[in-house]
Amino acid sequence: MKIYAISGLGADERVFQFLDLPMELVCIKWAPWNGHNLQSYAKLLCEQIDTSERFVLMGVSFGGIVAVEMNQFCAPEKTILISSAETWKDLPSWYFLLSSIHLIRFLPPALFNLPRPLANFLFGAKNKVLLDQILNDTDLDFVKWSMGQIRIWRSDSRLDKCVRIHGSADRVIPLKLGSRIRVIPGGPHFMIVDEVANVQSSIISEVASLNA
């Protein structure tokens, strides 16, 4: 069974490089987003999935939100969300302030480039070198578009087959307890890299349960 993985905002397959899984992992490539909203963009990314075979969707951070929307257009055996949100209610309250900031569309992309000390703090990164490399390669126009989509995201339906893997020390999307959550004690937002052993074991367990 394949796992189709969607990286976080502005990131790429490098965030998955430390995973050692007994199943094939296929990284979804970010596609051009011009002219798309979140739903149509999710549908576009589904074109990279071979739906003739059973598969799992896995998304990290913003990639998890995209994975939730992709469920409208494909039928994964399970959706695994890492450091992410299943509905808008899983997001912290300060995200909702974005809804009232209509000027976000007029801000220059350069303003979405986080100062590195702030990024390291928010992501809780131990591997600061990799985080810095990813941030340096980030397309800030894509970040601006994505933040605009998060601003208006209001999905409130739980998926039938979904599990969240979340760190208790996540500062970007603080943990909100609920059902179907595997908590990684002390896990930061960047735990797909920094707490890879714990995240990996949770992924393997969730996929293995499909064949139980």
Q: Please state the rounded mean pLDDT for residues 101-125.
A: 71
Copy the structure tokens of residue 87. 């509905």
Give φ, ψ of 102 to 5 degrees: -70, -15
13 neighbors 33 (Cβ within 8 angstroms) = no
For the chain, the 3-state helix, strand and coil shares in percent, each to the nearest 5, are: 45, 15, 40
pLDDT in tens, 160-205: 999 999 999 999 999 988 779 999 999 999 999 999 999 999 999 9
User: What integer pLDDT is reported at residue 166 of this predicted model?
Assistant: 97
The domains located in the chain, with CATH, are 2-211 (3.40.50.1820)
Q: How far apart are CA 167 and CA 93, in angstroms?
A: 18
pLDDT in tens, 115-160: 788 888 889 989 999 998 988 888 888 888 888 898 889 999 999 9
Number of neighbouring beta carbons within 10 Å of residue 79: 23
Number of neighbouring beta carbons within 10 Å of residue 72: 11
Give φ, ψ of 59 to 5 degrees: -130, 145
Nearest-CA neighbor of 133 among 5, 12, 6?
12
User: What integer pLDDT is reported at residue 148 of this predicted model?
Assistant: 84
Q: How far apart are CA 76 and CA 161, in angstroms?
A: 8
Beta bridge partners of 5: 27, 58
Copy the structure tokens of residue 193. 């890299």
DSSP 64: H
Q: How far apart are CA 16 and CA 60, in angstroms?
A: 10
pLDDT level of residue 36 (50, 70, 90 thresholds): very high
DSSP string, 87-114: SGGGS-HHHHGGGG-GGGGGS-GGGGS-
pLDDT level of residue 100 (50, 70, 90 thresholds): low
pLDDT in tens, 48-86: 999 999 999 999 999 999 999 999 999 999 999 999 999
